[in-house]
Amino acid sequence: MTRPLLLLDVDGPLNPFRSRLAGLRGYTSHRMRPTVWMSYRAPDSRSAVRGLRVRLHPAHGARLLALPYELAWATTWMHEANTMIAPHIGLPTDLPVIEWPELFARDPDGLSWKTRHLLDWADGRPFAWVDDMITPRDRAWVTAHHPAPALLLRIHPRQGLRPADFTTLHHWAAGLTAS
């Protein structure tokens, strides 16, 4: 059986951008200038010059690679996740990337702007989606429209991925191979 996909968002799950205590939990702080973020700033503004503060946990890459999934980026960082995020957490720099046709597009049914395109990209394969913007409406829509098992794991942007989340991801994937 093909391994399920693990579709990773950056901001929220890997970068707990709302956390005040991330440094105390082993996260390291980096300054980056991702294209999407920069597009909302004047090039000579103070925030553009300083860059976006990104908190990343150096052990997350090894923990993600140890899970029984095929990893792919499902983030506004798109290909920059491979060049800016992956090296800091120990992930390969050539992971597949979901390329969004339009960022932050308003969905007519109130779904996350990622949901429909993510299902198209998964192409009927089992997947786990890790994001901070998943809602009950997204879960219901995926259940009704995706032919394979799917786990939508909402991560609080103040906490980022936690040990319990890795356990949930592992058990869910193990349950697929057991059935």
pLDDT-derived band at 22, boundaries 50, 70, 90: confident
Residue 178 pLDDT exceeds 80: no
Q: Which position has the token pair 């707990």? A: 16
**Alpha-carbon dihedral 28, 32, 38, 40, rounded to 10 degrees:** 10
Instruction: For residues 88-111, give the mean pLDDT.
Output: 94
pTM, to two decimals: 0.94
Res 179: pLDDT: 59
* pLDDT at position 25: 86
Q: Which domains does the chain have, with CATH numbers?
A: 5-16+58-178 (3.40.50)
Confidence bin at 163 (pLDDT 50/70/90): very high
User: Residue 24 — pLDDT band, cuts 50, 70, 90?
Assistant: confident
* pLDDT above 90 for 67: yes
Strands, E assignment, the chain: 5-8, 28-32, 52-56, 70-73, 127-131, 150-154
**Is residue 120 pLDDT above 90, yes or no?**
yes
User: Cα 62 to chain center, whole Å?
Assistant: 16
Q: What does the pLDDT average to over 62-81?
A: 97
CA distances from 35 to 41, 78, 111, 114 (A): 10, 10, 25, 18
What integer pLDDT is reported at residue 21 of this predicted model?
Answer: 81
Burial of 178 (0-12, 13-18, 19+ CB in 10 A): exposed
